[in-house]
Chains A and B, each alone.
Chain A
Amino acid sequence: MTVEAVRLAVDRVRSRLREDARTRNGKLFAAITALAVFAPVMFSPYRLEIVMQLLIVILAVASWVFVAGYFGMFTFAHAALYGVGGYAAVILAAEMGVHPLASILLGGVVAGLFSLPISYPVLRLSGAYVGMVTLAYAEIIYYGTIILRDVTGGPTGYTGFPQLFGGDRVVMYYFVLALVVALMLAMYALLVNRFGLVARAIRESSDAAQMLGNNVPRYKLTGFLVGSSIAGVAGALQAYNILIISPPMLEIDQMIEFMAMGIIGGLRTFGGAVFGGIIVFGFSEVLRDIGELRLVVWGALLIVVTLYFPDGIAGSSFDVRKRFQEWFDR
């Protein structure tokens, strides 16, 4: 890439940011970001922990939307790779003396490497077949974490690795916020440029995109690698955040939760991950007391969204102010 091309790409990101900031979603994001910045002074330590987990989950969901929503590669292996990133980071830090901050990025790299064995079938298959292959791979990794007791700590998980920032939760919070925002912006920058345009074209028709001179396999591989690596970084952050990593973090339930968030928020809109994360995660917290019954609420929510907002909450044209106005005018 030449300097000129980079300058053009950055210009494009700037102008798109300016455009998007004026939309309903943009305004909501501005409010959410402001809220996130002041969270440590507004919320109790317990609430702050929850916000931190939410931020990390949003990053994981966004990285899945990046792969599944934009390219149409409907992968089920994302939660497993999120877990791989977590295990890799803390094991590297605890057993090999890697600096914990560096280990977070290396967690992303290892998750990216773990995505390579399935990238070959994922690139060549489509639709439900991608789901089946990635689901099988996710199960292999999941059982791997249970069986490889010496490395992963087995079913009870891996603990006892160093804390970040000496356990200072406010510093940790701002670190998580900064990294999540930075990686979200990086994905946004890719998606508003040619990379995102071709990704969407591939989702609509990979044959046509290819016949128009685009190296489709290379685009898909890059997208799959980037998405998987960012999921790995999210997993590493989560491990350091909750100070344990155990097999349930990469179970299929976790994957379904990510998918529900992505779909409810909106697969075609990158911001969907933020809305979906807040709504589903928020519901889970609020409904914690009713236990398993909350799964019923989720199911109902998924049905309502797919029926009335087929493009998710972020992709809908629902305007709160206008609705209120109509209601008052009546």
Chain B
Amino acid sequence: MSALLATDGLTKTFGGIVAVDGLDIAVDESELVGLIGPNGSGKTTTLNLVTGFHAPTGGAVLFDGDDVTGMKPYQVSKRGIGRTFQISKPFGRMTVFENMLVPNVPYGPKEREERIWKLLEELHLDHVAEHRADALSGGQKKLLELARVLMLEPKLVLLDEPAAGVNPALMDEIIADIKQINERGTAILVIEHDMSVISELCERVIVMNAGRQVTTGTFEEIRNDERVREAYLGGA
């Protein structure tokens, strides 16, 4: 089976700094993959390259059999890639329900509304639907971002640190939600610093350092990998 998402020699330089350096990673259909690496290893830049926020200096991004390199974010999103941000970006002055209306989906108003309520219920946000989004807790904001993205019925969702700033009680809920979304067939690539989250969620983990893939494997495999330890602690 060919990969759903694949990067081919993906490269991005900012002035003299090489943020992503000939990166080759792949995510298969319905897979739940973790993307980890020390700060500055190029994880978020990779997401920005895949979703069209940055134009790559070199290499290509292939998605679902098509070359999507250099496409605009709204075009990438229409192809079926959804994404949340490291710092949540809810539309703060709008209500939760209004937030859910922003995704550009082809449904009529009635069907759209049904889908919104279904997703809000699933992600435990139905009771705050009429609240302003900036009044939500950190975790609820993350859930709202996720709900918004799911309106688009993406084939792949990229999550940038879904656990950052979330209280532990809500964390379990978010993990369960992510698993459930994945079980329905949506592939997920998740960047996360909290290793307990990664070990609980991911079948496979990709480790990045200095803009390259160091290794990939199950959490157990990479935990015992000398190269991974070196990436995090520095080579001796």
Residues in chain A within 8 A of chain B (CB atoms): 8, 194, 197-198, 200-201, 203-205, 207-217, 268
Contacting pair A213 B105 (CB below 8 A): yes
Are the C-beta atoms of A213 and B101 separated by less than 8 Å? no
Q: Chain B contacts of A203 at CB under 8 A?
A: 93
Q: Please name 13 further chain A to chain B contacts, defined as beta carbons within 8 Å, in addition to the given A204-B91, A211-B83, A213-B104, sorted by A numbering.
A: A198-B102, A200-B93, A204-B94, A205-B89, A205-B90, A207-B53, A208-B90, A208-B91, A208-B145, A209-B102, A211-B85, A212-B148, A216-B74
Could you name 29 residue pairs across A and B whose Cβ atoms are closer than 8 Å? A197-B94, A197-B98, A198-B102, A200-B91, A201-B91, A201-B94, A201-B99, A204-B91, A207-B85, A208-B90, A208-B91, A208-B102, A208-B145, A209-B102, A210-B72, A210-B77, A211-B73, A211-B74, A211-B149, A212-B103, A212-B104, A212-B149, A212-B151, A213-B105, A213-B152, A214-B104, A215-B72, A215-B74, A268-B93
Q: How far is the CB of A44 from chain B (nearest CB, A)?
A: 43
- Give the 3 A-B CB pairs with smallest separation, nearest first: A213-B104, A204-B91, A205-B89
Say yes or no: A212 contacts B77, CB within 8 Å: yes
B169 vs chain A, min Cβ distance (A): 26
In the bound complex, residues from chain B placing their C-beta under 8 Å from that of A207 are 53, 73, 85, 89
B51 at the A/B interface (Cβ < 8 Å)?
yes
- Nearest neighbor of B102 in chain A, beta-carbon distance: A201
Does B37 interact with chain A (Cβ within 8 Å)? no
B148 proximity list for chain A (CB < 8 A):
208, 212
Provide the bound-state CA to CA distance between A197 and B97, in Å.
Answer: 11
Q: A194, A203, A214, A268 — which one has the most chain B CB atoms within 10 A of its CB?
A: A214
Residues of A within 8 A of B91 (CB): 200-201, 204-205, 208-209
- Report yes or no: B92 in contact with A213, Cβ–Cβ below 8 A: no
Identity of the chain A residue whose Cβ is nearest the Cβ of B103 in the assembled complex: A212
Q: Mark B95-114, 1 if CB is under 8 A from A, else 0.
A: 00011011111000100000
- Residue of B51, B73, B93, B109 with highest tally of chain A CB at under 10 A: B73
Is B229 part of the contact surface with A, judged by Cβ < 8 Å?
no
Q: Give per-residue flags for B138-162: 1 if the beta carbon is below 8 A from chain A beta carbons, else 0.
A: 0000000100110110000000000
Write the nearest CB–CB distance from A37 to chain B, whole angstroms: 34
Q: Can you name the residue of chain A whose Cβ is closest to the Cβ of B83?
A: A211
Contact residues in A for B101 (Cβ distance below 8 Å): 194, 197
**Residue among B94, B109, B152 making CB contact with A212, cutoff 8 Å:** B152
Return B71 CB to nearest CB of chain A, in Å.
12
Is the Cβ of A214 less than 8 Å from the Cβ of B74?
yes
Report the minimum CB–CB distance from B129 to chain A (whole Å): 16
Q: Counting chain B CB atoms within 10 Å of each CB, which of A197, A212, A215 scores highest?
A: A212
CA distance A215 to B51 in the complex (A): 14
B12 to chain A, nearest CB (A): 17
Q: Which chain B residue lies CB-closest to A11?
A: B109
Q: How far is the CB of B62 from chain A (nearest CB, A)?
A: 19
Residues from chain A with a CB closer than 8 A to the CB of B98 are 197, 200
In the complex, A201 Cα to B89 Cα: how many Å? Answer: 10
Q: Complex: how many Å from CA A212 to CA B151? A: 9
Chain B residues whose CB sits within 8 angstroms of the CB of A194 once the complex forms: 101
Query: Is B74 a contact of A210 with CB atoms below 8 Å?
Result: yes
Chain A residues with CB under 8 Å of B53's CB are 207
Which residue from A8, A210, A268 sits with its C-beta under 8 Å from B73? A210
> B78 interface residue, CB < 8 Å from A?
yes
Residues of B within 8 A of A198 (CB): 102
